[in-house]
A and B are shown apart, each in its own frame.
Chain A
Amino acid sequence: MRQPDWQIAAGTAPRGGDAPAVSAADIRALLAESGWLAVDASALSDEDDLYAAGLTSHGSVNLMLALEERYGVEFPEHLLRRRTFESIAAIRSAVAGLLDGAPGAG
């Protein structure tokens, strides 16, 4: 009777050739404007730990809302966990999966 626990949509590669328009640079820019990090986002690599860079759970909720607004997607409950927002690469992958219509998206 549980809600199905989908495997990580964030980890799946975008299907098809029409790769969605989300880049690490976009996300880095969004983070740089936000003020949710304690460091300069432009200095972060794609794999750097955003929590170590000062992202809080409060900040991650606002980050999610900003991503939803920016890309016109909605994060389903199963993507709302720490890992989804742990790095620029993880965020890019999650948003790409949503734009590509991964299970549970929208």
Chain B
Amino acid sequence: MRAPTPDSLPAMAAEVAADAAAIAGRHADSVDREARFPAEAFAALKDARLLGLMVPRDFGGGGGGLADAAAVAHALARQCPSTGLIYAMHQIQVACLVRHGQNGAWHRGFLERLAGEQLLLASATTEAGIGGDVRSSACAVTGTVGGETGDAFRLEKQATVISYGAEADAILVTARRTADSPPSDQVIVPVLRGQTRLEEIGGWDTLGMRGTRSVGYRLVAEAERAQILPLPYADIAARTMLPVTHILWSSVWLGIATDAVARAAAFIRAEARKRPGTPPPGARRLAEATAGLQAMRGMVRGALARFEEAADDPDRLTAPGFTVAMNTLKTEAAEMVVRIVGQAMLAGGLAAYRNDSPFSLCRHLRDAHSAPLMINNDRILGNTANLLLAHRDNGSLFG
């Protein structure tokens, strides 16, 4: 068992994740083919204590930051994008708890359990009848048979998607604060496996990201009111969930693009060796894909730096300029991964198009196409367009 060393750099986090990434790679095809949870990779991630990477050391966690989590998600996604994306989605929930759940006794205890038992966290933010707007809920926190004002609550949600819900140890659920609250007045609450009943609705037979098993569920939870995060979900979403989601997802997509370009480069080199002096026909496409990869990497690193600079300042995190930057990261990175994998496919030609070649990019292509759809780019662009009415870009190079 290796734990991240104190003050570990993102590079070290990725190194700690190397074993888990190699295991993820060995099972990537079977995870994809069978659309199953990447159990082997997650067993390895737990052994390496990487599920608690961002939990502060006071609670027994790794004490890592968002850059560390991004480095691990990226390293995993190079080998198995489903594994990388599940890891990213888990860390998004961890970030919300670490940043907004250190004051209550229940939450502090939960952070200790999270690190100690390497719990896997999922999320139930989308809901039937809401049209994909995660900032709006129909379901509400209500009383139990014990009464409206007791210490316990009941929550029932028709969740259109809970990725890896069946494997999760806890699920962070959004809901209206009370039965009388408007749809936008939401809270978020982690509910534990033993407190929650899940009934699967529909299956998960998709083009890509098949290992995430993002099926719908009817979720019924009965839990303690002390579990509800005290800060309104609107604030948690703006300060943490939105930027962390877009940064970690983009890191996953960057991992896909990185491996696609690496495979195309390996193919081009092999071709060049066969006919020295004659550049392979796909070489220019490889150059194009490499340029895109460099731009994408710069964009992800820039967004990470921007988040870290603003991380402790709620006013900066909720300013329109910051949200515009994070929204734009998401929409642009999602477009870039599709474009880069397409260019790499052109570079690799039939060798990349084949399922049974070492240069195959078929899974990359299928997985990449999930990126613009996960919180649809059109929805985010519409949101950005609205924010731009308020945002005043000062236009300077370093913002």
Q: List 27 A–B pairs whose Cβ atoms lie within 8 Å, in order of A's numbering.
A: A2-B309, A2-B398, A3-B396, A5-B313, A39-B182, A52-B177, A52-B181, A52-B182, A52-B185, A53-B185, A54-B182, A54-B183, A54-B184, A57-B238, A57-B387, A61-B387, A61-B389, A76-B392, A77-B319, A77-B391, A77-B394, A78-B319, A80-B321, A81-B315, A81-B319, A82-B238, A83-B315
- Which residue, A51, A52, A57, A76, has most C-beta atoms of chain B within 10 A? A57
Q: How far is the CA of A47 from the CA of B314 in the complex (A)?
A: 20
Question: Which residues of B344-399 are within 8 A (CB) of A?
Answer: 383, 386-387, 389-392, 394, 396, 398-399
Q: Which residue in chain B gives the minimum CB-CB distance to A58?
A: B386
B182–A38 touching, CB < 8 Å = yes
In the A-B complex, the 5 residue pairs with the closest CB atoms = A38-B182, A54-B182, A81-B318, A81-B315, A56-B184
- Which residue, A2, A37, A65, has most C-beta atoms of chain B within 10 A? A2
Distance in angstroms from B304 CB to nearest chain A CB is: 17
Question: Which residues of B305-349 are within 8 A (CB) of A?
Answer: 309, 313-316, 318-321, 323
Q: State whether the Cβ of A43 lies closer than 8 Å to any Cβ in chain B.
A: no
Which residues from A are CB-within-8-Å of B135? Answer: 56-57
Q: State whether the Cβ of B234 lies closer than 8 Å to any Cβ in chain A.
A: yes
A51–B184 touching, CB < 8 Å = yes
A64–B390 touching, CB < 8 Å = yes
Majority secondary structure of chain A interface residues (helix, strand, loop or mixed)? loop
New A-B pairs, 15, CB < 8 Å, besides A76-B392, A83-B318? A3-B399, A51-B234, A52-B181, A54-B184, A57-B135, A58-B383, A61-B320, A61-B387, A61-B389, A77-B320, A77-B321, A81-B315, A82-B235, A82-B238, A82-B318
- Which residue, A5, A65, A82, has most C-beta atoms of chain B within 10 A? A82
Distance in angstroms from A3 CB to nearest chain B CB is: 6
Which residues from B are CB-within-8-Å of A58? Answer: 383, 386
Q: State whether the Cβ of A55 lies closer than 8 Å to any Cβ in chain B.
A: yes
**Residues of B near any A CB (own CB < 8 A):** 135-136, 177, 181-185, 232, 234-235, 238, 309, 313-316, 318-321, 323, 383, 386-387, 389-392, 394, 396, 398-399
A80–B319 touching, CB < 8 Å = yes
Distance in angstroms from A51 CB to nearest chain B CB is: 6
**Residues of A near any B CB (own CB < 8 A):** 1-3, 5, 37-39, 51-58, 61, 64-65, 75-78, 80-83
Q: How far is the CA of A71 from the CA of B341 in the complex (A)?
A: 51
Which residues from B are CB-within-8-Å of A39? Answer: 182
B316–A5 touching, CB < 8 Å = yes
A51–B390 touching, CB < 8 Å = no
Which residues from B are CB-within-8-Å of A51? Answer: 184-185, 232, 234
Which residues from B are CB-within-8-Å of A38? Answer: 182-184
Pick the residue among B234, B313, B396 that contacts A57 (CB under 8 A).
Answer: B234
Distance in angstroms from B77 CB to nearest chain A CB is: 30
**Given A56-B135, A80-B319; A3-B394 close (CB under 8 Å):** yes
Which residues from B are CB-within-8-Å of A77? Answer: 319-321, 391-392, 394
Q: How far is the CA of A52 from the CA of B235 in the complex (A)?
A: 12
Which residues from B are CB-within-8-Å of A2? Answer: 309, 398-399
**Given A52-B185, A54-B184, A61-B387; A82-B234 close (CB under 8 Å):** yes
Distance in angstroms from A8 CB to nearest chain B CB is: 8
Q: How far is the CA of A64 from the CA of B390 in the complex (A)?
A: 8
Q: How far is the CA of A1 from the CA of B370 in the complex (A)?
A: 38
Q: Which residue in chain A gives the minimum CB-CB distance to B186?
A: A51
Distance in angstroms from A103 CB to nearest chain B CB is: 15
